[in-house]
């Protein structure tokens, strides 16, 4: 049998998937740890999905002007629609993502909605309301759980949208709270304006890193929102087919972050909340056995 040439399409695609695994491992550690407990056949596709999410989620970090970010988002829209300029295979994440979309017949619209939602990241406008925050997390976080369940189901029953909807909002809000040390310095305000106003705080309190009682009260409301969605997630999980619940394993770490941020000594603008990896692995492993915790 003739050995496969190193530059063959199959080999390049295999390398693209390997690259996605490394991107997920370095940039999306919770999703990486959870994917290790997913069905082996689905793991490469999940790594490609999460690598894509990581790449578009960090656009604000790597561009200096919103227009540059808009151009990058449009490039990804063209990729998803099959209209990418040039050789998309030159971008390993894009190449793997296109293969996953085709192989699992994933709906293009949900990717386009995610990219549209990420436009918010490029500007300094504050998150206007709690409802807007829930919608943002739904389109950037819940959608990944839904797509992961479709991948794991591989054409079978992936269940309804309640569990991924609530789980994604819980995971997403907790992630935004954890990212305060970075987002505030960039001028981004994900704390809803209605929560800030309720407690007598405003956008400048966040971007200036003012750790005041009013700001802490608004952040406590955000944690309560995340905890409420996590509770709803646990209740709706039973309605999801057991075979696809591995798609939701990243959500299992949410209480670890929320519990730390509930403590009075949490420093929201300077502390990176990062429980030890073994604790996160333990929570994910227990969830894989059906013990999700509170």
- CATH class for the region spanning 124-294: mainly alpha
| Per-residue pLDDT tens over the stretch 44-90 | 999 999 999 999 999 999 998 999 999 999 999 999 998 765 567 68
pLDDT of residue 86: 56
Domain with CATH 1.10.600.10 in the chain: 9-106, 124-294
In angstroms, the CA 134 to CA 2 distance is: 54
Q: What would the two tokens of residue 263 be?
A: 């403590």
pLDDT of residue 1: 37
The answer to whether 44 and 20 are in contact (CB under 8 A) is: yes
pTM over 0.75: yes
Tally the residues of the chain: 294
- Name the CATH topology of 9-106: Farnesyl Diphosphate Synthase (1.10.600)
pLDDT of residue 7: 67
In angstroms, the CA 108 to CA 81 distance is: 7
H/E element, 259: helix 254-261
């Amino acid at each position: 049998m003739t050995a496969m040439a190193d530059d063959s399409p199959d080999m390049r695609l295999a390398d693209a998937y390997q690259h996605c695994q490394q991107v997920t491992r370095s940039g999306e550690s919770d999703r990486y740890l959870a994917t290790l407990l997913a069905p082996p056949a689905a793991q490469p596709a999940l790594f490609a999905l999460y690598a894509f999410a990581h790449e578009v989620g960090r656009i604000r970090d790597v561009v200096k002007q919103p227009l540059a970010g808009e151009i990058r988002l449009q490039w990804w829209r063209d990729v998803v629609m099959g209209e990418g300029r040039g050789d998309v295979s030159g971008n390993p994440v894009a190449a793997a993502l296109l293969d996953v979309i085709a192989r699992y017949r994933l709906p293009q619209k949900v990717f386009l909605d995610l990219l549209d939602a990420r436009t918010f990241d490029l500007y300094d406008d504050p998150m206007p309301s709690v409802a807007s925050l829930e919608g943002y997390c739904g389109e950037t976080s819940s959608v990944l759980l839904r797509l992961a369940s479709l991948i794991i189901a591989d054409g079978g029953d992936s269940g309804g949208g309640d569990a991924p909807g609530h789980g994604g909002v819980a995971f997403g809000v907790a992630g935004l709270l954890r990212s305060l040390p970075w987002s505030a310095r960039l001028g981004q305000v994900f704390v809803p304006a209605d929560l800030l106003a309720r407690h007598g705080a405003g956008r400048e309190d966040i971007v200036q890193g003012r750790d005041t009682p009013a700001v802490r009260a608004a952040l406590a409301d955000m944690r309560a929102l995340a905890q409420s969605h996590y509770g709803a997630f646990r209740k709706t999980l039973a309605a999801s087919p057991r075979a696809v619940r591995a798609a939701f394993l990243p959500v299992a770490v949410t209480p670890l972050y929320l519990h730390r941020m509930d403590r009075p000594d949490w420093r929201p603008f300077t502390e990176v909340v990062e429980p030890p990896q073994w604790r996160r692995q333990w929570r994910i492993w227990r969830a894989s056995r059906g013990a999700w915790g509170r």
